[in-house]
């Protein structure tokens, strides 16, 4: 794809604007550790929520969705649509608790909920494990996707594209190091508007290039016949007799994955950069609304422009060896020259928003939960801010090296998913059941890793095979859950003073904390369990109704669209009624 002087001017102006934002927030970020990583806990819901959405909209995301659609049709997206229930659980059961906790990172939570050496081990181990290897795997696959994009768009070799990506990493790292979380949040807002606008424009041009929606549907029906399968690529629910999603695998996705599996960005109960944004929100109201907006935008607003381009790629570029590259090929083939500079800037925005967040929260783990906790406990605020900048640069260098050795984005994804199976129960219940202790969490992590690796390496289970993946999940979750429950009852509870302090601080539901609640009768627990459950149901109705209703509307299936959008409206009504009861329906500053 040829870029003109005007295109390069647009790209240069984009980078100049991002740098200006970084410079604007430089002095504010340097004022304290809390300002650098949590924006002084004064972020409005719309900014925190949009930042979450921008972070999960990486350069690799449209490519990944295109690959899913090319391989398994629209229903291929159930690989991530299954996490809607988890997201809604975070919104209504955990967002307020996170904000009340007052911690600086979700890893610091270990030492307000637990005590002693096990708690210290949990905090230190997770800081290093999540901050370096896991974080850099994520950074590596985002880098790899950007290499693919630049090599196709600019027509250069992968090696030259990698050098360009390293330059992008350096620029992003500089801005993130300079401006802290405020800079990340504001640039995320700008980047999300730009990249969302451009993917919508591309989807419109792509569909027009194949003759419009009706012509696209006709051509896809012919592809269905050629494939000889019983399901259509336009189906929203997978054919449960298919090889890629048999019944047992689909049931595992919708009944097990969403609550039992730990995965970055979809942690049961919230974690990582999602927790960071909740902790940075102005108050509990803004924390809940930020997480709600994130889930609505993440699942119901963003997917269809990507899906449409994925469908068009099946028509224009059938049989690609790497189907995920179909997104870039459609862009090159259909986007007019006048918009190419903006599209390249949009991809840069998608890339930079994810990289900036990963670097910022990764550095927060290394500094707040390891360096500050175990190595230098009495330094000044400025010292820790400077240490954070050094940590950001270090992560930048490591992630660039990882990119050279990361062979498969999908393999890394499935590795993380399977080895985190079974830990979700502990992460959810530690807020609501006083008896959970540090050994519960330690044992769940160790057993999940041991069982999943034993099944794969010792018994030949292959996570790339759907049925094997389902049994990997079922066995790992079952063994891990039985083990951590046994460990919980065989070990001593946490110290009474620690439990009382946690109960006073977060005020969880009394039902799971009855023995502790009796020792702190002055504390008014949050309650509202049935109300939260109803809102959770309403949230799932809202998202799935809006997601599938919008899809039916786009595909000109209007009767189904009306029914599904009505379901979404009912779900929204349930949530609005509850927020009105709390006095939170007015989403004003």
Concatenated DSSP letters of 138-151 = HHHHHHHHHHHHHH
Question: Across-strand partners of 281?
Answer: 43
Handedness of CA 47, 55, 251, 307 (dihedral sign): positive
Q: Residue 303 falls within a domain, yes or no?
A: yes
> Helix H segments across 317-437?
326-334, 340-366, 381-405, 409-419, 424-429
Residue indicated by tokens 């690989």: 79
> What is the helix (H) or strand (E) element at residue 581, kind and residue range?
helix 558-582
Cα-to-chain-centroid distance, residue 233: 26
Question: In angstroms, how far is CA 435 from the centroid of its own chain?
Answer: 29
Q: Tell which residue, 58, 439, 425, 98, has the closest CA to residue 271.
A: 98
Tokens 């027009």 correspond to: 208
Torsion of CA 275, 280, 282, 283, to 10 degrees: 30
d(CA 461, CA 252): 16
Residue at 133 is within a domain: yes
pLDDT of residue 585: 56
Cα 483 to Cα 426: distance, rounded to the nearest angstrom: 11
CA pair distance 110, 121, nearest whole angstrom: 9
CA dihedral sign, ordered 57, 79, 72, 555? negative
DSSP SS3 for 103:
coil
pLDDT at 407: 61
Q: Nearest 5°: CA angle at 342, between 337 and 343?
A: 80
Q: How far is Cα 26 from Cα 31, in angstroms, rounded to an integer?
A: 9
- Residue 196 sits in which domain range? 5-26+33-203+267-407
Are the beta carbons of 48 and 41 closer than 8 angstroms?
no
pLDDT at 50 (0 to 100): 95
Coil, strand or helix at 421: strand
Establish if 284 belongs to a structural domain. Answer: yes
Tell me which long-range contacts 263-266 makes (C-beta under 8 A, separation of at least 24). 263/83, 263/416, 263/417, 263/420, 264/130, 264/134, 264/138, 264/416, 265/55, 265/56, 266/83, 266/86, 266/87
> Is 435 within the bounds of a domain?
no
Name the domain count of the chain. Answer: 1
**HEC per residue, 245-288:** CCHHHHHHHHHHHHHHECCCCCCCCCCHHHHHHHHHECCHHHHH
Output b/e per residue, 43-64; b: 16+ Cβ within 10 A: bbbebbbbbbbbbbbbbbbbbb
Q: Rounded CA gap, 250 and 277, in Å? A: 31
Low-confidence ranges of the chain (pLDDT < 70): 1-2, 229-230, 264-265, 406-419, 527, 585-589
CATH code of 137's domain: 1.20.1730.10
pLDDT at residue 181, as a whole number: 86
Spatial CA neighbour of 268 closest among 411, 112, 441: 441
SS3 43: strand
Within a domain: 254: no
Q: What pTM was computed for the model?
A: 0.91
Among 204, 450, 483, 428, smallest CA distance to 335 is for: 204
By the 8 A CB rule, do 589 and 44 touch? yes
What 3-state DSSP class applies to 493? coil
Q: Would you say 229 and 242 are in contact if contact means Cβ atoms under 8 Å apart?
A: yes
CB 251 within 8 A of CB 477: no
Examine residue 337 and state whether it is found in any structural domain, yes or no.
yes
Query: Given this model, what pLDDT does residue 589 score?
Result: 42
Residues 6+ apart with CB under 8 A from 310: 65, 66, 67, 68, 69, 70, 326, 327
- pLDDT value for 409: 45
Residue 164 is assigned to a structural domain of this protein: yes
Cα(483)–Cα(440) distance, integer angstroms? 9
Four-residue CA torsion sign, 117, 119, 121, 123? negative
Residue 75 belongs to a domain? yes
Least Cα distance to 400 among 579, 144, 152, 203 occurs for 144
């Amino acid at each position: 794809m040829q870029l003109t002087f005007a295109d390069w001017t647009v790209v240069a102006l984009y980078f100049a604007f991002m740098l200006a934002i970084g410079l604007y927030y430089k002095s504010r970020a340097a004022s304290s550790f809390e300002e650098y990583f949590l924006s002084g806990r004064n972020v409005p819901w719309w900014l925190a929520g949009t930042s979450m959405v921008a972070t999960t909209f990486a350069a690799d995301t449209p490519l990944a969705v295109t690959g899913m659609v090319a391989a398994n049709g629209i229903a291929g997206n159930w690989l991530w649509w299954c996490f809607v229930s988890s997201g809604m659980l975070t919104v209504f059961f955990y967002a307020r608790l996170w904000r009340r906790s007052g911690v600086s990172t979700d890893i610091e939570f270990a030492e307000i909920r637990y005590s002693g050496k096990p708690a210290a081990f949990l905090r230190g181990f997770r800081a290093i494990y999540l901050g370096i290897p896991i974080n850099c795997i994520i950074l590596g696959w985002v880098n790899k996707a950007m290499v693919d994009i630049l090599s196709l768009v600019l027509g250069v070799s992968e090696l030259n594209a990698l050098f360009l990506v390293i330059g992008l990493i350096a620029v992003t790292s500089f801005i993130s190091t300079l401006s802290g979380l405020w800079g990340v949040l504001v640039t995320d807002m700008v980047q999300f508007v730009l990249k969302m606008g451009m993917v919508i424009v591309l989807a419109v041009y792509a569909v027009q290039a194949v003759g419009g929606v009706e012509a696209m549907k006709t051509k896809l029906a012919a592809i269905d016949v050629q494939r000889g399968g019983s399901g259509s690529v336009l189906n929203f629910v997978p054919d449960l007799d298919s090889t890629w999603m048999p019944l047992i695998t689909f049931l595992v996705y919708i009944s097990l994955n969403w609550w039992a599996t730990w995965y970055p960005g979809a942690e049961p109960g919230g974690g990582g950069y999602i927790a960071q944004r909740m902790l940075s929100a102005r108050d509990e109201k803004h924390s809940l609304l930020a997480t709600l907006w994130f889930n609505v935008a993440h699942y119901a607003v963003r997917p269809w422009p990507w899906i449409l381009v994925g469908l068009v790629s099946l028509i224009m570029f059938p049989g690609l060896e790497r189907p995920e590259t179909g997104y870039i090929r459609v862009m090159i083939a259909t986007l007019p020259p006048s918009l190419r500079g903006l599209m390249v800037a949009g991809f840069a925005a998608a890339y930079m928003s994810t990289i900036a967040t990963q670097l910022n929260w990764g550095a927060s783990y290394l500094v707040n939960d390891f360096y500050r906790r175990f190595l230098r406990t009495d330094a000044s605020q400025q010292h820790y801010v400077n240490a954070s900048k050094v940590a950001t640069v270090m992560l930048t260098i490591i992630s660039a090296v990882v990119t050279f050795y990361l062979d498969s984005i999908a393999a890394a994804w499935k590795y993380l998913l399977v080895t985190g199976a079974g830990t979700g129960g502990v992460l959810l219940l530690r807020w609501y059941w006083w008896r959970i202790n540090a050994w519960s969490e330690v044992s769940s992590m160790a057993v999940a890793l041991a069982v999943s690796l034993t099944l794969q390496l010792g018994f030949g289970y292959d996570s790339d095979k759907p049925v094997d993946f389902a049994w990997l999940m079922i066995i790992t979750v079952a063994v891990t859950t039985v083990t951590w429950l046994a460990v919980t009852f065989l070990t001593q509870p946490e110290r009474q003073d620690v439990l009382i302090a946690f109960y006073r601080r977060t005020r969880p539901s009394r039902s799971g904390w009855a023995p502790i609640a009796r020792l702190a009768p002055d504390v008014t627990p949050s309650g509202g369990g049935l109300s939260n459950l109803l809102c959770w149901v309403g949230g799932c109705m809202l998202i799935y109704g809006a997601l599938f209703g919008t899809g039916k509307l786009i595909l000109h299936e209007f009767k189904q669209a009306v029914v599904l959008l009505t379901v979404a409206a009912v779900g929204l009504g349930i949530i609005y009624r509850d927020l009105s009861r709390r006095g939170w329906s007015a989403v004003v500053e």
